Structure 1
Amino acid sequence: MNSLYGMPVIVNPMLDDVPKMRLSESVRQIVTPEFAASVDRWMLDFFGAENRVLVLQGQTFVVGPKTLAALRLQGKFLP
């Protein structure tokens, strides 16, 4: 089991490259799918994406593969 600071680590690729901004669902309901996709692409280019980390009940880290690799490079990840 992988651990970080003594807590288990779960890897989920959905936590890598998460857009920082997207159109809300209420706006998506009133615009065309093409327009929504276009605005989402622009927001991704302008605001970028981030790699997220979740902490489940203060006992487990959930990270994406990119975050896991960065932690390993920093020597903070313990196999």
Structure 2
Amino acid sequence: MARGQHRFWTTRNTRGRAIRAAIKASYAPAKKAAGIRRDARVAAKIKALIDSPAGLSAECQSWLSVQTGRPASKLSRADIEAVLA
């Protein structure tokens, strides 16, 4: 940074913050759509694996934990069925 540029730090930083906020807002619709697709994919995977002797994958357990707000080790079959309903 050249000498004296410290005076313009606030201007530069504020402009950068506005640009980052606009970029984040432009990505929001795509991220929302991706989340919906992921939810559908994981729900289908859980329905397919719920009766398998191997159990659920780590991805499924993590997703269920987020949906229920409970640790994966504490989830019961009733919790899983409630999320899928």
* Structure with greater contact order relative to length (CA < 8 Å, sep ≥ 6): 1
Structure with bigger helix share is 2
**TM-score, normalized by the shorter chain, greater than 0.5:** no
Task: Say which one has the larger Rg.
Answer: 2
Structure holding more strand per residue: 1
Q: TM-score range by the shorter chain?
A: under 0.3
